[in-house]
Structure 1
Amino acid sequence: MCQLFAMNSNRPMTVQAALRTFTARGGRTGEHVDGWGMAFHDGEGCRLFIDPQRAADSALADFLCLYPIQATTVLAHVRKATHGIPAPVNCHPFQREWRGRRWSFCHNGKLLDFAPALSGDYVPVGQTDSEYAFCWLMEQLRRQLKAQAEPHWQDIATLLAELASQIGRHGEFNLTFTDGQALYTLCATRLTWTQHTQHHGRDTPRMVQIATEPLGGAHPWHSFVPAR
């Protein structure tokens, strides 16, 4: 299956070391050779990079692991295809707009017979089960939270958990999901996390990293308890 990485912090930060270890899993230390992608969110802006080749062989991936892009939230993905050919349209993170913000989504797992009707507000461009699930999630969030002028992240998290549970009945559904303000994560089978805190007084930098498998470093990694 695919591999996920995510970072969320209370101020813009870089994660070059983590990305170097992570992208190596795209063909050098792992078998996830069917494309990769990264989304760097900072405030209202987002920089998205995708490539259908192996991350371990990608000059673009090498550049992003060296260039110090600062962001408050990062999503990254290395793909091992189960649905859809290696192509840009099938690379994660997928993105859509809702309420004037860009939402990014990555999925790890395989879904079977998940094909609910879509209204047309969000439709897949590629052939993956992941993008189909993302479009359905966005459609349901838009429909069920339309009465709220500005949904609170806790309301989104509660609804997202309910929707993800429905999708999870069709297979494995580990996900990372963000609008650049909050990071939402669901562990169905395997995810790990670590926290970095630098004690600099009142304005203390805090960062959480999430990965399918630990990425090493000075801070310990912990396993999520899979959702039931």
Structure 2
Amino acid sequence: MCELLGMSANVPTDICFSFTGFLHRGGGTGPHRDGWGIAFYEAGGYRDFRDPHPSVRSPIARLISDYPIQSHIVISHIRQANVGGVRLANTHPFTREMWGKTWCYAHNGQLEAWQGLPLAFYHPVGDTDSEHAFCWLLGTLRQHFPHLPDANDTQRQACWARLHALCEELRSLGVFNMLLADGDYLYTFCSTKLAHITRRAPFGQAELSDAELTVNFAEHTTPADIVSVIATEPLTSNEAWVRMQPGELLVWHQGRIVARFTAEEKGADSPQ
């Protein structure tokens, strides 16, 4: 299957360290050689890089690992193709506009009977189950909320609860691990595998599992920084990552979890 990488931070932060380990899994330490992509939200804007070739041999991937793009939210994906050919149109992450925001999405897993998901507004460019599910997810959310929900807690919670319910519908079709972002919030949904770590003061050293690289975050941060990284599998060998539970949706804002929805409770826990 594919693998996912995401970041949420309270200050503009580069993801060079984590991405360096992640790209090695794309045809190096892992079998995910069917393309890769990465998206950045920065200074109110959005940009992404996608390549249908293995990330471990991609000059573009090497550029990203060396180029410290400062961002609050990042989504990245390395692909092991199951549905759809190996081509740029099928390379994650996928994007659509809704409510005047750029929504970015990446999926890990494989769905059954996905062709039966009705598409009300958005339509796929490629031919993957992942992009079809994204179009259904965003279009259905738009049907329930035609306009951007008010910023009050009640409206936001209702929107997030609906998003969680839609993710649960997709999980019923197979494996649906997801990263989704709108420029303000990062949403992570676990079907089988997702893990996260939050780094804050006092910062220490971290060692990559997939490459010989160690960094001392204390040399690159301030005491106020909060940076959270989410990945299919932990990227470092000397840190304690937290594994998400099946059916769990986490809502991240500026490096913190601000809402949690679980399969058992079908509702939100108090923000952390």
Normalised by the length of structure 1, the TM-score is 0.94
Q: Number of paired residues?
A: 226
Q: CA deviation at 1:116?
A: 1.8
- For residue 214 of structure 1, give the secondary structure of its aligned residue in structure 2: coil
CA distance in 1, matches of 2:85, 2:188: 26
Supply the AA of the counterpart residue of 1:81.
A
Q: Relative to structure 1, is the Cα distance of residues 217 and 74 closer, same or farther in structure 2, using a 3 angstrom cutoff?
A: farther
CA distance in 2, matches of 1:104, 1:148: 16
Percentage identity across paired residues of the two chains: 38
C-alpha RMSD over aligned residues:
1.8
Q: Say if 2:12 is the partner of 1:12.
A: yes
For the 8 Å contact 2:52–2:91, the answer to whether it is kept is yes
Supply the AA of the counterpart residue of 2:168.
S
Structure 2, gaps ≥5 residues long: 204-221, 248-262, 264-272
Structure 1, gaps ≥5 residues long: none
Q: In the TM superposition, what are the counterparts of 1:122-141 in structure 2 within 5 Å?
A: 122-141=122-141
Q: Say if 2:169 is the partner of 1:166.
A: yes
- For residue 89 of structure 1, give the secondary structure of its aligned residue in structure 2: helix
For the 8 Å contact 1:77–1:106, the answer to whether it is kept is yes
Q: Say if 2:197 is the partner of 1:197.
A: no
Structure having the higher Rg: 2
Aligned to 1:176: 179
Aligned to 1:26: 26
Aligned to 2:244: 224
CA distance in 1, matches of 2:102, 2:148: 18
Q: Relative to structure 1, is the Cα distance of residues 182 and 147 closer, same or farther in structure 2, using a 3 angstrom cutoff?
A: closer
Q: CA deviation at 1:199?
A: 5.8
Q: CA deviation at 1:157?
A: 2.0
- For residue 138 of structure 1, give the secondary structure of its aligned residue in structure 2: helix
CA distance in 2, matches of 1:194, 1:169: 27
For the 8 Å contact 1:43–1:181, the answer to whether it is kept is no
Name which of 231, 234, 256 aligns with 1:214: 234
Moved over 4 A (4+): none
Aligned to 1:187: 190
